[in-house]
């Protein structure tokens, strides 16, 4: 997303999730950037990034760790947004989510090394 939608809570600006219309309206930015960079692999960090990349709602826990093919042949991976780790309240849950996040990134690295 190329804009930051927020609401004020006291002196703090809290991020607000973009709706489907806003995601679709910004998709051309993503398409232009992909056309210029031509990445072999893309990692979607969070539900909004996944929705923008695939054009539909993606359930992160169903596709984590899987190499997914986009229409143009680009490999894509989906994982949680790193900020989600900050919202896990208990230490054990936070460690579990962090370990899973690192495993997702290792899977991406392994996939990229296999392509090299």
- Residue 79's CB is within 10 A of a number of other CB atoms, namely 25
What's the residue count for the chain?
116
Give me the pLDDT at residue 1, please: 64
Q: Is the pTM of this model over 0.95?
A: no
**60-111: pLDDT as tens digits:** 999 998 999 999 999 999 999 999 999 999 999 999 999 999 999 999 999 9
CATH of span 6-115? 3.40.470.10
Domain residue ranges in the chain? 6-115
- Beta-strand relationship, 6-9 and 75-79: unpaired
**CA 56 to CA 100: how far, in whole Å?**
24
Q: What is the DSSP letter of 10?
A: T
**44-53: pLDDT as tens digits:** 999 999 999 9
Give me the pLDDT at residue 95, please: 97
> Are the C-beta atoms of residues 57 and 51 closer than 8 Å to each other?
yes
**4-43: pLDDT as tens digits:** 787 888 888 888 888 989 998 889 999 999 999 999 999 9
């Amino acid at each position: 997303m190329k804009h930051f939608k927020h609401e004020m809570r006291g002196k703090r600006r809290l991020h607000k999730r973009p709706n489907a219309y806003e995601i679709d309206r910004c998709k051309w930015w993503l398409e232009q950037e992909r056309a210029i960079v031509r990445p072999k692999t893309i990692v979607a960090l969070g539900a909004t990034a996944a929705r923008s990349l695939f054009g539909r709602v993606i359930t992160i826990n169903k596709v984590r760790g899987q190499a997914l093919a986009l229409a143009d042949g680009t490999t894509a991976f989906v994982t949680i947004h790193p900020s989600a780790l900050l919202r896990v309240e208990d230490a054990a849950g936070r460690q579990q989510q962090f370990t899973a996040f690192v495993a997702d990134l290792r899977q991406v690295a392994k996939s990229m090394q296999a392509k090299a």
